Each structure stands twice: as C-alpha cells, then as structure tokens.
A = this chain, B = another copy of it.
C-alpha cells in the first residue's frame, strides 16, 4: 500500500534527496549553498546534519570546475547530484556541460556512462533582474546529450528526481521556485516518474494548452476561467523536454485542432519554437487554426516590479492568447 501525504513541492524534493542519498552510497549532493539555510530554498534542509560533509558538499564559487568535478566523479562510479542554485550561473559551466558531460559517452563510442543529475534552479521575480532570473531550458534542449525534465507538481518533483538520479545519462532537472509552495499528494516511499512522458492535467475538447513547469499552474488557472466562457481547454504538462512526448501532444491536437504552447523561457529559438515546429509539421493536417506560442519576450529580466508585471507570463496573458486563437476566422 502506498502511503500518501500532502507535501509542498520543496518538501518533495527534500524528501527525495534524503531517501536517494540514504539508499545509495554512490549518490551525493554537490553545489553552492547545499549547506545553507536559505540558498536553495529549503530543499536541502537536514541533509548536512544527517549525511555530513563527505556527501553533502558545499563548494567554492567555481561553477565550471565544480561541474567538471561532478562529471569526473560520475565517470568514477558515483551518481552525483550537482546543483546550480540559479540557471544564470550555469553559463560559467557551459564548457563542462556542453563539451564534456554531453559528449563523453558519444565521443568515445559508448565506453562511459555519466550518471549525473544536473539540478538547475529557476529563481526569478522579486526584482532580481537580468543575471538572476533566467530559465535556460532551450539552450540545453538544443545541445545533444542531455535528458531534460521540468516537474510541475510535488509528485513529479520527487518522482522525476528519482528517475534522474537512476538514469545513466546526464539529466538536467529544472525546477522553478515559483512552484516551491505548491501542495500535492506525494507517496512516502521512493517511486519513479518516467522520463519521456507528458501528462494530461485537464481534459478538454476546444484547445490544447501545452505548458512547461510553472506555466502548467497558470495554464490550469486560465482553463478554469475560460471554462466560464464556454471554452473547454485541454492542459498538457510536458514534464519531459528531452526525450519529448510528441505523441501526447499530437493526439491532443487531433482532438482539439487548436494548439498553444506556453513556456517560461525566452521566445526566439525557445522551447516554444521547437514544440510549435513539431506540431505544425507533424500535426499539420489536424490544425483548425495556426498553432501559437506564448513565451517570455526577448529581453532580459527587468528589476522594477512595474516591469516584472509586463515581463512574466500568467494566466491572464494565457487567456488573452486563447481568446485570440478562438476568434481566428478558422
């Protein structure tokens, strides 16, 4: 029997970390702030006290080398969880990520595995501005060699972290701190949510809203409002960017004929462009209207609260986009 409790998203991560590190001596956590009371939300609470500094490694501010060190440890039989407390800092680590983690298996003809979880946190809003707010999933989706997941519920936060750590490849696990206080059912034991599978969060027949990460929450809010207007929205949580569950998207479009992708990263060459391209080539015949995308405008994050309001996506902006789509002549 599965014991369920209601947990917050950050508690689900914390519990997964405790259990994963407890269960497998090869698993360790490394990165900036993992022993700090506030740095990575409250996701790492209790770890240092329980497992000590050999397995919970707080680090100097040396993102590139710390990333390389985690890769090297993975090559030597460990299963590290490497945290970058803000995706913005991962630019420093791009060489190790893109030229090394992503290539090491391929380049040497499958001699090596890199069972490495790269935990990248999206931490924005609150006036943090251009260098502390980025959501860079598209860049890593572009570069071959990673799996990528973006859980949107506490259940998936735990289950996908377990899958990431058990995977024998570099898996980028991206969470958005705007999800940290979302509550949901979470089994107590360890369990896996499969990488590569999307999930229908709400069934509907008029429009498919596919969303990533925190945008799923906003899409569901929008769907509720639009229900009142007689528009029946299907919400799909993409969950896994790579491999991508194309089937679930295409099947939904077969039903609804209308499609909007909502992603919290930048627009140009973004995740939204990729998914739009897939739909418009592979589900072309089922579309009743042009598929649309909603993403961050192509500017850096501003600091002022007045501008943040314009910058970030929310359910209202999704509603506007859906109405635009529905009013299309088609």
The distance in angstroms between the C-alpha atoms of A106 and B91, with both chains bound, is: 19
A231-254 CB contact bits vs B (8 Å, 1 = yes)? 000000000001000000000000
- Cβ–Cβ < 8 Å partners of A276 in chain B: 273, 276-277, 280-281
The distance in angstroms between the C-alpha atoms of A98 and B132, with both chains bound, is: 12
Picked from B107, B142, B284, the residue with its CB within 8 Å of the CB of A139 is B142
Copies of this protein chain in the complex: 2
Name, among A102, A141, A143, A302, the residue most crowded by chain B CB atoms within 10 Å (CB to CB): A143
Complex interface: stretch among A21-29, A191-199, A221-229, A291-299: A291-299
Interface size on A, residues (CB 8 A): 46
| CB proximity to B under 8 Å, residues A92-111 | 92, 94-95, 97-99, 102-103, 106-107
The distance in angstroms between the C-alpha atoms of A71 and B276, with both chains bound, is: 35
Picked from B107, B130, B272, B290, the residue with its CB within 8 Å of the CB of A107 is B130
Contacts from A to B (Cβ < 8 Å):
64, 88, 91-92, 94-95, 97-99, 102-103, 106-107, 129-131, 138-139, 141-145, 242, 265-266, 268-274, 276-277, 280-281, 284, 290-293, 298-300, 302
